[in-house]
Amino acid sequence: MNETSINATILSQKFAIASLNFTDAEILHDEKNFIQMIPIGVVLCILILACVIGNFFVIVAILIERDLRSRPQYYLIFSLAVADLLVGLIVTPLGAWSTIVQAWTLGVTLCDFWISVDVLVCTSSILHLVAIALDRYWSITDICYVQNRTPRRIFGMLGTTWIVSLLISLAPILGWKDRDFFDRVEKQRVCLISQQISYQV
């Protein structure tokens, strides 16, 4: 065996050892990340369960109790609980998965769906709180408001809340996206709401 082949053999062995060390370092890094994500995953699961169970009981209580069903203002609370239940059932679990694996691995279609549902139910939840606050404010400041608080009026508030939320959430699906959306999901594996300034405003 000549000197050139010996040097080549030694060099290839060094590369193999370096590659093995690099692979070991990657495995250790992945294991460390996995261990760090366990408590985060547990906390997220607890929060999801609390959200789902809490809102489920609110919905059941309003459906069962005749006294609550007979008061129109509780329709607002019922609808708010439905929106928050959807947050716990759809939005938070997918967000938790993305946080734990530290990437969006579920594709463009599911990213679109997740973002739209997220915007829909979160916007709806915020608008429900505004509607409930207005209902309470009018109850205190307007003596005649309580008598005029009819189911029709409350359903009008609910319809406005959900329709506005739906229009905002459907805009990205209908094409109101920034140019980098698909590359961001497919290559960078990040699922974010449209970064187009006109939509965010």
What would the pLDDT profile of 155-164 be if each residue is shown by its tens digit?
Answer: 999 999 999 9
pTM above 0.85, yes or no: no
Confidence at residue 24, expressed as pLDDT on a 0 to 100 scale: 52
Distance CA 149, CA 71 (A): 9
| Angle of CA points 102, 105, 28, to nearest 5° | 45
Averaged over 170-189, what is the pLDDT? Answer: 83
What would the pLDDT profile of 84-138 be if each residue is shown by its tens digit?
Answer: 999 999 999 999 999 888 899 999 899 999 999 999 999 999 999 999 999 999 9
State the residue for tokens 């606050």.
133
Confidence at residue 48, expressed as pLDDT on a 0 to 100 scale: 96
Confidence at residue 148, expressed as pLDDT on a 0 to 100 scale: 83
Backbone conformation region of residue 192, classed left if phi is above 0, alpha if psi is from -120 to 50, else beta: beta
CA 71 to chain centre: 32
Identify whether the C-beta of residue 104 lies closer than 8 Å to the C-beta of residue 88: no
State the chain's mean pLDDT as an integer: 84
Higher-scoring residue by pLDDT: 11, 170: 170
Confidence at residue 1, expressed as pLDDT on a 0 to 100 scale: 53
Confidence at residue 116, expressed as pLDDT on a 0 to 100 scale: 93
Question: 96 Cβ partners below 8 Å, 6+ apart?
Answer: 41, 44, 45, 48
**Res. 70: pLDDT tops 90:** no
Provide the 8-state DSSP code for 106. S
Domains parsed from the chain with CATH numbers = 3-200 (1.20.1070.10)
Identify whether the C-beta of residue 87 lies closer than 8 Å to the C-beta of residue 52: no
What would the pLDDT profile of 48-69 be if each residue is shown by its tens digit?
Answer: 999 999 999 999 999 999 888 8
Residue 142: pLDDT band by 50, 70, 90 thresholds?
A: confident
